[in-house]
């Protein structure tokens, strides 16, 4: 029986509606709206799209949102000065520096410069440390979105074996910590893991976050598992596309022909759908939760600082 598809759209819309209600309550009871400021440096097209989506969504749910855009040649000192100013502005509740930054800028230094109480991406070491110790913190948006999808789709996590493939600071490591907080037994796998299919095929919940198109195949998946695909990759080879897509193959091939590529996650969707009980699609799955959770973090940051 084909997998139940866990669409991210209704869950993301529900979260945004809940956040909009919180924003309206803050405005009516305390006289302010949370403010999100996004800093973008350079002309990366994907970054421009992502930032536009974040700023637009914040405005739609009643927040104050602003974008600070600087050219690619902006110096390290200028970017530091921007972050320092935003840290000092009391009306700014959330600061997000869109990655990637130009190569001459140390991303880690800039991210660590952000006030942890305004770190709505959840990347600051203080927030990472609080998460590791099980304390309340601003959480990385994508892993937090995964937990929301599992909970709101009635996928039990407690006492289940969860396997996370990927160990990045942005997704893999915080994902493991959040699953532990939900009382799962967690295994982390990565590029140096031996006998990967042997480990992943034991998972009740398998989370793929490695950045390799269609890497997780049927052999990696236990029959009846829940498979969460966090990856976003471009595929331009029609022959590779035929290995990945089933019922929607013709649509995907048409997209490659028209646009030069189509989007796929880290999981082979054709094979996953045949073995998994639940599966998050790409696009239309976890990616939609990232912006929604950013909005939720901004409201949380405003409450932590102001109330």
Residues designated catalytic:
54, 98, 121
Using alpha carbons, select from 299, 286, 302 the residue that is nearest to residue 19. 299
Dist CA 264 CA 284 (whole Å): 11
For 295, the 3-state DSSP assignment is: helix
Burial 19-28 (b: 16+ CB within 10 A, else e): bbebbeebee
Pairing of strands 233-235, 262-264: antiparallel
Dist CA 103 CA 18 (whole Å): 38
278 close to 154: Cβ distance less than 8 angstroms: no
Q: % helix / strand / coil in the chain, to the nearest 5?
A: 45, 15, 35
Dist CA 207 CA 231 (whole Å): 10
Sheet strands (E) in the chain: 4-5, 35-41, 64-70, 94-97, 161-165, 185-189, 205-208, 226-229, 233-235, 262-264, 278-279
249 token code pair: 């193959």
Tell me which DSSP letter residue 208 carries: E
Using alpha carbons, select from 227, 235, 243 the residue that is nearest to residue 164. 227
Q: Among positive and negative, which fits the CA dihedral 236, 239, 244, 247? A: positive
Dist CA 240 CA 98 (whole Å): 31
163 close to 189: Cβ distance less than 8 angstroms: yes
159 close to 185: Cβ distance less than 8 angstroms: yes
């Amino acid at each position: 029986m084909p997998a139940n598809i866990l669409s991210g759209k209704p869950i993301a819309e529900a979260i945004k509606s809940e956040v909009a209600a919180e924003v309206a309550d803050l405005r009516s009871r305390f006289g302010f709206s949370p403010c999100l400021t996004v800093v973008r440096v350079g002309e990366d097209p994907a970054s421009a799209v992502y930032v536009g989506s974040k700023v637009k969504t914040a405005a739609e749910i009643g927040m104050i949102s602003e974008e600070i855009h600087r050219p690619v040649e902006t110096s390290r000192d200028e970017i530091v000065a921007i972050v320092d100013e935003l840290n000092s502005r009391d009306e700014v509740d959330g600061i997000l520096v869109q990655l990637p930054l130009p190569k001459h800028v140390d991303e880690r230094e800039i991210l660590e410069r952000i006030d942890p109480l305004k770190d709505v991406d959840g990347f600051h070491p203080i927030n990472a440390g609080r998460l590791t110790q099980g304390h309340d913190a601003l959480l990385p948006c994508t892993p937090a979105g995964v937990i929301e999808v599992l909970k709101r789709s009635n996928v039990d996590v407690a006492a289940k074996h969860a396997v996370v493939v990927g160990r990045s600071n942005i997704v893999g490591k915080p994902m493991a910590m959040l699953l532990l907080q939900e009382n799962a037994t967690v295994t982390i796998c990565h590029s140096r893991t031996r006998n990967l299919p042997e480990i992943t095929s034991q998972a009740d919940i398998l989370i793929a976050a490695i950045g390799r198109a269609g890497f997780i195949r049927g052999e990696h998946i236990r029959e009846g598992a829940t498979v969460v695909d966090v990856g976003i990759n471009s595929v331009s080879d029609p022959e590779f596309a035929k290995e990945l897509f089933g019922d929607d193959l013709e649509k995907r091939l048409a997209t490659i022909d028209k646009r030069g590529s189509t989007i796929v996650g880290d999981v082979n969707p054709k094979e996953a759908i045949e073995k998994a009980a639940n599966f998050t699609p790409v696009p239309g799955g976890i990616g939609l939760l990232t912006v929604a959770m950013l909005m939720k973090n901004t409201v949380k940051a405003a409450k932590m600082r102001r109330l």
